Amino acid sequence: MKKRRQKKKTNKFLKLKIMGFVGFSFLISLVALYFSPLGKDVQKIGKNVVESCAQKAHFNLERVVVEGHIRTKLNDLNAKLNLRQGMPIFEIDLEKEKQSVLELPWIKTVRIERHLPTQILISVTEKTPIAVWQNKKTYWPIDENGQAILDDKTLLKNVLLVVGEDAPEHTPELMALLNEYPDIASVTRSAVRVGKRRWNLYLNDAENGLEIRLPETGIKEALARLKKFKEEGDILNRDIKVIDLKLPDRLIVKSSGTMK
C-alpha cells in the first residue's frame, strides 16, 4: 500500500512538473514571437481579439463621468478627449487622454479609470488662484507656484492684484509673508513690482489706497514694523498717503497734504 501511495505521489508530482514546463515553454514562445519580426502582426491580432471579446461582452463606452472641475468647462474638457459613445472601452488609451486633459489651463492633476463594463471616470484637481496679474491690459490668474494660468475668461474676486513684468514668480513668496500678518493682508488690494527689485503695496483701494513701500530684502521685518505701528498708533487709518519702510532704522511718512 505504501509503495502504491508513493508511486501515485511521484506520478502526480511528475505531471505537475510536465505541466509547468509546458506552460513555461508556451510563455517563452509567446514572448519570442512578440519580439520577432511578426510581433506587430501578433499585437494587431491580439488587439482585434480583445476588441471582439469586449464587444461581445458589451464592454463598450456608454458614459463618461467627470469629477472635481469648477472653473474648467465640460465643453472644453470634452473637446480634449478622444472618446465616442459605443467604442470598445479597452481601446481607450488612458495615458493619452490624461495628457490631453492636462493641457487645459486650470487642470493641475488628472486620474482616469475604467469602470467596467461601460463607464470612464475622470477625476481632476484644479490649480488654486492666489492672485491676478495685470499685464498691460490683460488679466491672468496666478497659481500657487507663481505660474500664470492662461485663461482671462474667469472673473476672480477678492484676490490680490499684482503688477509688474516679473510679478508672478515673486507672488507666492509675498503671499506667504502677508499671510503671517492677516490684519495687513486683509486690507491689501494690490502689489506693484518696482524695478524688478521690490514691492509697493496698496491698501484699501487698488489704485488710490495707502501706499506701503517695502524694502528689497527684509520684507518680513518691515511688515512686523508696520503691524507694530498699526497696533500702537492706528497708522493705517490716518490721513497718510505713503508709508516708506525701505530703510530698516527709520519710518518715512507722507500725508495727503505733503503729496500735493
149 burial via Cβ count (<10 Å: 0-12, 13-18, 19+): buried
Give the H/E segment covering residue 11. helix 2-34
User: What is the per-residue pLDDT for 19?
Assistant: 55
Centre a 10 Å sphere on the Cβ of residue 134 and count the other Cβ atoms it contains.
17
| C-alpha–C-alpha distance, residues 23 and 25, integer Å | 5
User: What is the per-residue pLDDT for 33?
Assistant: 58
User: What is the per-residue pLDDT for 260?
Assistant: 46
The structural domains of the chain, with segments of one domain joined by +, span 63-126, 131-255
Does the predicted model carry a pTM greater than 0.85? Answer: no
Place of cell 469586449: 54
User: What is the per-residue pLDDT for 2?
Assistant: 46
136 burial via Cβ count (<10 Å: 0-12, 13-18, 19+): exposed
Q: Which CATH architecture has domain 131-255?
A: 3-Layer(aba) Sandwich (3.40)
| C-alpha–C-alpha distance, residues 16 and 70, integer Å | 58
* 68 neighbors 125 (Cβ within 8 angstroms): yes
63-126 — its CATH code?
3.10.20.310
Nearest alpha-carbon partner for 230 in 186, 174, 173: 186
203, β-bridge pairs: 188, 210
User: What is the per-residue pLDDT for 7?
Assistant: 47
User: What is the per-residue pLDDT for 233?
Assistant: 81
| C-alpha–C-alpha distance, residues 144 and 190, integer Å | 17
pLDDT tens digits, the chain, 260 residues: what are they? 544 555 455 555 545 554 554 455 566 666 665 677 665 665 666 556 555 554 555 789 999 999 999 999 999 999 999 999 999 999 999 999 999 999 999 999 999 999 999 999 999 999 999 999 998 888 999 999 999 998 866 667 889 999 999 999 999 999 999 999 999 999 999 999 999 999 999 998 877 889 999 999 999 999 999 999 889 888 888 889 999 999 988 888 888 765 54
